[in-house]
Structure 1
Amino acid sequence: MTPTWIGISAGLGAGFGLAVFLAVHELRPASPSLGPALARLQPPSGAGDAVPGRSVAIGRLADRMRRVIPATDLRLLGRTSEEFVTSLIVAGLIGLAVPSVLLGLLTLMGRSFGTGVPVGAAVGFAALLVLIVYRDVGHKAAFARRECRRAVCTFIDLVALQRAAGRGTEESLIRAASKGSGWVFARIRQTLLRAELSVSAPWDGLKQLGTDLGVPELGDLGDIMQAAGVTGAQVYRTLRARATSLRAQIRTDELAHAELRTSQLEIPGALLLVVLMLLALYPFAARLLAAPAVN
């Protein structure tokens, strides 16, 4: 074997060994990071508060756009105002670039455009993309809020069962939160853990979480459990009644949403019927227009 092939074989072997080492290193469980864990346990802050490593310019722009930024929806989705503003800026830049590139290619192919067409196309497409990104946050937040309400209904039932088993107020909340899965129960567990570490009432944390997420049902649960924790009231029947009413409300909202989707499905059918009618009437209209006038 020549020295060249020996060098190539050695290089390939070293590359394969490096790949195996990196794969094993990535698959090995990493030690938890203390910084992000402590950040998750801190009380939630406003959408425009400073975060480590953010751009100063983006932060200032987010502070100026505080009135138009959907802060509640962003907190529900777990996003910051800086990320939202960045997505709007990126969408606007893409909207400005795409028509400019397309019109530039058409110009190279021999087509000529005035000054107003490229500017209008770029600005219009950029505004359209920004609007799509802005409305997408609202749609995702509405879906997440419906999911959150269903999870809260299950959480209320679990708390009622814990109270029926003779558990205390705080213990009922903690045990009920540990039985569920999903991002809603994860946030409830974080809220209860934060309240335990800060030696504060858990129902206050639930009410604040309901306000932050725009889910008033969590605030109602906090009020009910506050009555149980402060005055020692028997709240089992109240919890079951609240869960039943919330379940009925969710069912009504889902039926209304299904009816809206069903009505929206009729629009393509109506448009298709109009197109078919135009295709059927086109030959007769063409003959009438082509027929010579009779004096």
Structure 2
Amino acid sequence: MIVSPWAVLAGCVVAAGLALLIAELRPAPPDLSRALDRLHRPPVEHQTAADQAGTGWYDRLGDRALVLAGSKVPLQSLSLIGRTPARFMAHKLLFALVGLVLPGYLSAMAALTGFGPPIALPVLISLGLAIGGWLLPDAVVQSEAKEARVEYLHAIAAYLELVALERAADHGPAEAMRRAAAVGHGTVFRRIQDALERAATDRVPPWDGLDALAAELGLGPLQDVADIMRISGTDGAAVYDTLRARAKGLRDELLAADLAEAGANSERMVAPGAALTLLMTVLIVYPALYQMLHVF
């Protein structure tokens, strides 16, 4: 049996694409330099290409793509899921390129087998897939950011309770914020710890660090924590009841959102359930009805 070299080439290309996809989806090892840079993070507008020298080629490509006219990068959503704008743009370019090339590649393979589709069809499909591939990362990021935002809000409600307990134990405002953040070990608490550590390194109050983190993530409840503790630190106000009330209000908001989502999911299940019931009714009634009609 003679194997066509074009079939071998097609198999190699598919295998290389699968290997690249697996390499992108595999969790990357922790980068110690980036973890240390979080303590002295420079402003985004002052970062240069030299600062990105240690990143991968796709990150450097995405960093150059950030200057594309009309490209809107969801910075707050990317911060919530811990993804850099450069990586986001690299994903957009990669998916758009795959969508643009894939139909032409499949058409070429089909032409080698003797089936030649019209040229206009692969061109139209390529354009459609390229546009879809360019927009796909936006939808993925927004979906992941929505889930991450809920996780952050739950953690912030717990952090409010912990800060209130630390204040009730007669710890100072700054010390209460640090001790409460040290209790948790999740992603949200690590981000809060990093913000407080950067504030301590810069010799600014810890609530200023939470201010910056709240602005970066776009989370109003975290801004509320910073405002409440600022009042306690500057005016010496008793904030135990305020913290507990804000935590309760945040939990009530999350519960209401969960109930609304559950109601919406229940309503969406009405149509499939009705269709399944109708189908089962037809399958049960049709044989008996068929026999009745043919007997007479």
**In structure 1, what is the equivalent of residue 52 of structure 2?**
52
Give yes or no for contact 2:107–2:116 (8 Å, CA) kept in 1. no
Cα distance in 1 for residues equivalent to 2:276 and 2:119: 38
- SS, match of residue 44 in structure 2: coil
Match of 2:210 in 1: 206
Q: 1:89/1:257 Cα in 2 relative to 1: closer, same or farther (>3 Å)?
A: same
CA contact (8 A) 1:100 1:122 kept: yes
How many positions carry a matched residue from both structures? Answer: 249
Task: Work out the CA distance in 1 between the residues paired with 2:96 and 2:131.
Answer: 7
Quick one: distance in 2 between partners of 1:92 and 1:76?
24
Contact 2:195 2:210 in 1 (8 A): yes
Alpha-carbon shift at residue 277 of structure 1 (Å):
9.9
1:247-269 per-residue CA deviation (whole Å, 9 max, x = no partner) reads 10010111112222333334544
Tell me, yes or no, if structure 1 residue 78 matches structure 2 residue 85. Answer: no
1:181 to 178, 185, 189: 185
Structure 2: distance between partners of 1:251 and 1:257: 10
Q: What is the CA-CA distance between 1:275 and the residue it aligns to? A: 7.8
| Residues 1:66 and 1:129: Cα distance change in structure 2 (over 3 Å) | closer
Of residues 266-275 and 237-246 in structure 1, the stretch that sits farther from structure 2 once superposed is 266-275
Q: What root-mean-square deviation, in Å, do the aligned CA atoms of Structure 1 and Structure 2 show? A: 2.8
Which residue is equivalent to 1:168?
A: 172
Distance 2:42 2:257 in 1: 29
Letter in 2 for 1:189: Q
User: Post-superposition shift, 1:114?
Assistant: 2.0
How far off its partner does 1:273 sit? 7.0
Provide the residue aligned with 2:40 in structure 1.
Answer: 42
- Matches of 1:267 and 1:214 in 2, distance apart? 37
Question: Which sections of structure 1, spanning at least 5 residues, go unmatched?
Answer: 1-31, 281-295
Change in Cα spacing, 1:139 to 1:226, as seen in structure 2 (3 Å) is same
State whether structure 2 residue 130 is matched by structure 1 residue 100: no
Contact 1:195–1:201 under 8 Å retained in 2: yes
Greater mean deviation of Cα atoms: 236-245 or 254-263: 254-263
Larger Rg: 1
Deviations 1:115-143 (A, max 9, x none): 21010011112222322222000000010
CA distance in 1 between counterparts of 2:271 and 2:42 reads: 43
Scaled by the length of structure 1, what TM-score is found?
A: 0.76
Aligned with 1:120: secondary structure?
helix
**Post-superposition offset of 1:42:** 1.7
Contact 1:153/1:247 (8 A) holds in 2: yes
Aligned to 1:236: 240
8 Å contact from structure 1 (residues 47, 81) kept in 2:
no
**In 2 relative to 1, CA 86–48 (structure 1 residues): closer, same or farther, beyond 3 Å?**
farther
Matched, 1:140 2:144: yes
Partner Cα distance (2:275, 2:42) in 1:
48
1:271 and 1:68, CA in 2 relative to 1: closer, same or farther beyond 3 A?
A: farther
Deviations 1:192-242 (A, max 9, x none): 111111110110111111111111101000000000000000000100110
**Identity, % of aligned positions:** 35
Post-superposition shift, 1:95?
A: 1.0
Aligned to 1:191: 195
Distance verdict in 2 for CA 1:175–1:65, change over 3 Å:
farther
Q: Tell me which residue corresponds to 1:120.
A: 124
With over 3 angstroms needed to count, the CA separation of the structure-2 counterparts of 1:147 and 1:275, relative to structure 1, is same
* Structure 2: 5+ residue stretches without partners: 1-30, 285-296
TM-aligned CA distance change 1:134 to 1:52, over 3 Å: same
